[in-house]
Amino acid sequence: MKKVAFYTLGCKLNYSETSSISRMFEDRGYAKVDFTDSPDIFIINTCSVTENADKKCKKIVKEAKKISPESFVTIIGCYAQLKPKEISEIPGVDAVLGAAEKFRLFDHLDDFTKGGVFASEIKEAKAYNSSYSIADRTRTFLKVQDGCNYGCSFCTIPLARGKSRSDSIENVVQQAKEIAKTDVKEVVLTGVNIGDFGIQEGRRKEKFIDLVKALDEVDGIERFRISSIEPNLLSNEVIEFVAQSKRFVPHFHIPLQSGSDSILKKMNRRYLSDLYQSRVEKIKSLMPDCCIGVDVIVGFPGETEEEFLKTYNFLNELDISYLHVFTYSERPNTKAVHMIGVVDQGERNKRSKMLRSLSEKKRRFFYEQQLNKTFQVLFEEDVEDGVMHGFTENYVRVSAKYDPILINEIKEVTLLSINDKGHVDVMEPEETLIHH
């Protein structure tokens, strides 16, 4: 029995696809093992959102060859689609498969005895491949959409994943029912642009709101979480439905990228700051305890100190809960790479640090607002120094004294205090789980 190991870089979508590809191997009699367990085959699923992700790929290949010098190393994912020739020249890489080929690796690689580069042009990536993660962690990532028809000037994802395309509501619901037969308690919906769900065979056939409504009726799944959704696609109808939903939790992650309208226009985003603000206000009016996460990019070409401060002040005044801060990095074949007004790298880093500091303040303030309230916590197999962790429905990370019975269980708790690690200690209605 040949042994295969997987390593995933990047987003939740990549995790869902790696998991589905791993099941293809197991169905064919391969043994899935840890990265360090001398595998015969390594499958490395790459990201290419930032330059750093490219460097990580090279490092992982090097480590794989140290662990198992005779192994067969295959690279898939976004970086593989964008730079197949470059990757094929990395010492130790045996095969590279692009977006249209990665789910057909057994067709191309002859039981992993024959290598090569198999990466057709991205326009060939027309098929939709369903996938979801399972048995890897407490949550399952369920892919509902792939590709993107937007043309953001900084982004390589359309070049790496192709045009927007989706599963059908019927298929997604069926997959959710399959997941419900396992002991998974929470499903995270994922994709490249999930609010654009519903495009099949090049035309819109269904809508994201109808998918959400259909999944809300699936018995056996305690929670559904929407991973990330564009503000212009997060309609009031979706917000209103989540507010009264049985299973969708009060947590949205909404990319902003910049609080400056002039920068948003340069980025070719499909909204301005006033629309973003109205979405946040709508959410908070219906779900005051809702967690709202924000993606933001600093150092985009043309972002002067004044434009950056517009973003900083906009976020500071907005009722949001945390930030994911990205330092702009130049990506080949994007419009932004040719724009004037390049921001010095040191200045990019300074702005990034300022926003990360703001994120910590926002998260702490959000956590403070939740204290002395009762929530449902899904405890995870995340144990450190006798302490286990979990998340409330509104994405507060909590700590509790380790108890194996609690793993993958949803427990009603009262949030007590914020500990020195920035997590929230909790109390059950009947007994204290942890003291500090």
Task: Pick the closest to residue 255 from 6, 11, 78, 1 (CA basis).
Answer: 11
In a domain, 275, yes or no: no
My answer on whether 152 and 236 are in the same domain is yes
In a domain, 407, yes or no: yes
Q: Is the pLDDT of residue 135 over 70?
A: no
**What is the per-residue pLDDT for 10?**
85
My answer on whether 107 and 18 are in the same domain is yes
My answer on whether 16 and 83 are in the same domain is yes
Task: Let me know: does 148 contact 193? Beta carbons within 8 Å.
Answer: yes
Q: Tell me, what CATH number does 305's domain have? A: 3.30.750.200
In a domain, 327, yes or no: yes
My answer on whether 119 and 147 are in the same domain is no
The pLDDT tens digits of the residues spanning 83-108 come to 999 999 999 999 999 999 999 999 99
Q: Among 17-21, 348-352, 422-426, which is the least confidently predicted range? A: 422-426
My answer on whether 290 and 311 are in the same domain is yes
Q: Tell me, what CATH number does 138's domain have? A: 3.30.750.210
Amino acid identity for residue 244 in this structure: Q
Q: Is the pLDDT of residue 66 over 70?
A: yes
3-state secondary structure (DSSP) of residue 348: helix
Residue finishing a domain among 369, 389, 412: 369
Q: Tell me, what CATH number does 67's domain have? A: 3.40.50.12160
Q: Residue 116 forms beta bridges with which residues?
A: 95
Residue finishing a domain among 74, 98, 124: 124
φ/ψ of residue 402, rounded to 5: -60, 130
CA distances from 78 to 149, 331, 415 (A): 16, 13, 40
In a domain, 355, yes or no: yes
Q: Tell me, what CATH number does 392's domain have? A: 2.40.50
Confidence class of residue 420 from pLDDT cuts 50, 70 and 90? confident
Q: Is the pLDDT of residue 54 over 90?
A: no
Cα(343)–Cα(324) distance, integer angstroms: 20
Which helix or strand (DSSP H or E) is residue 54 part of?
Answer: helix 51-67
Both tokens assigned to 191: 């994709």
Task: Pick the closest to residue 78 from 27, 41, 129, 125 (CA basis).
Answer: 125
Confidence class of residue 50 from pLDDT cuts 50, 70 and 90? low
List the strands of the sheet with 186-190, edge to edge. Answer: 139-143, 186-190, 223-226
For 181, the domain range is 126-249
Q: Would you give the distance in Å from CA 207 to the centre of its chain?
A: 21
My answer on whether 385 and 355 are in the same domain is no
In a domain, 286, yes or no: yes
Both tokens assigned to 159: 């070049």
Residue finishing a domain among 328, 346, 369: 369
My answer on whether 155 and 80 are in the same domain is no
Instruction: Report the Cα–Cα distance between both ends of the chain, in Å, rounded.
Output: 49
**What is the per-residue pLDDT for 364?**
96
Can you give 122-171 as a three-state secondary structure string? HHHCCCCCCCECCCCCCEEEEECEECCCCCCCCCCHHHHHCCCEECCHHH
Task: Let me know: does 185 contact 217? Beta carbons within 8 Å.
Answer: no
Q: Is the pLDDT of residue 242 over 90?
A: yes
Give the DSSP per-residue string, 183-224: T--EEEEE-SSGGGTTEETTEE---HHHHHHHHTT-TT--EE
Q: Is the pLDDT of residue 430 over 60?
A: no
Q: Which residue has the tokens 């985003």?
A: 269
Task: Let me know: does 224 contact 140? Beta carbons within 8 Å.
Answer: no
Both tokens assigned to 393: 């429905």
In a domain, 265, yes or no: no
My answer on whether 308 and 384 are in the same domain is no
Task: Pick the closest to residue 252 from 230, 222, 285, 223 (CA basis).
Answer: 230
My answer on whether 78 and 130 are in the same domain is no
In a domain, 396, yes or no: yes
In a domain, 268, yes or no: no
Which helix or strand (DSSP H or E) is residue 38 part of?
Answer: none
User: For the chain, how many structural domains are there in total?
Assistant: 4
My answer on whether 34 and 137 are in the same domain is no
My answer on whether 364 and 325 are in the same domain is yes
Mean pLDDT, rounded, of the chain? 93
My answer on whether 119 and 13 are in the same domain is yes
Task: Let me know: does 64 contact 92? Beta carbons within 8 Å.
Answer: yes
